[in-house]
Amino acid sequence: MQAVKAGALYFALVFGAGFVLGTVRTIWVVPRVAARTAELMEMPIMLAVTIVAARWTVLRLSVPIMWSARLGMGCMALVLMLIAEFGFVLWIRGLTLKQYFATREPVAGAAYYLLLAGATFWWIVAGVLQVSVIPFTLIVILPTNKLLLSPTLDRRSVEAERLLARWGRLHAVEVRSVDLRYCFSCT
């Protein structure tokens, strides 16, 4: 249920910002610089809005760090965005889906879809990092853990200090991986 609430808030923030920016673009920017340039100028702003809205929503609603909760939030926002874009907007403008895609400016439309693909890319990176922790733990960290937990190891020896220092470095790598997953899953 929290993913639904977070996804709805994330959608509302991004859609609201897009509505305001789209209005500003259409009324004031397009008459001065043409539609293509205006849309391309708006894209980095919308990317920043998307990232900030995702981060703010995650922090505000305390969305768990679990990938399923974050992915659920993103999927809910995406579904709501598609409903708004292809349902409500097409209905208001009186367009079919085919007409909608035909009215998209080719360069700005391609940049828009690349922007969506880029956001998807970072979700894939976050997923790969999420899964990579398991083999890293089993292959790299587990042997050190076994040596540290060995009953034959003298806890006060130089070898124990060396193993403990190695264990700390390996877990620092794992923690950095968690930080990166968190950053990529918020975008």
Taking only the tens place, the pLDDT of each residue in 52-68 is 999 999 999 998 888 77
Q: Kindly state whether residues 25 and 73 are assigned to the same domain.
A: yes
| Domain of residue 54, residue span | 1-103
Q: Of the candidates 71, 103, 135, which is a domain's last residue?
A: 103
Note whether residue 176 is domain-resident.
Answer: yes
User: Is residue 108 a part of any domain in this protein?
Assistant: no
Q: For 10-34, write each residue's pLDDT tens digit.
A: 999 999 999 999 999 999 999 999 8
Kindly give the residue spans of alpha helices, DSSP state H, lying in 105-157: 106-136, 142-148
Instruction: Say if 41 falls within a structural domain.
Output: yes
Q: Based on the domain organization, do 26 and 91 belong to the same domain?
A: yes
Go through the chain and tell me how many residues it has.
187
Domains: count for the chain: 2
If asked whether residues 59 and 131 sit together in one domain, one would say no
Q: Is residue 58 part of a domain?
A: yes
- 126 in the same domain as 89: no
pTM for the model: 0.62
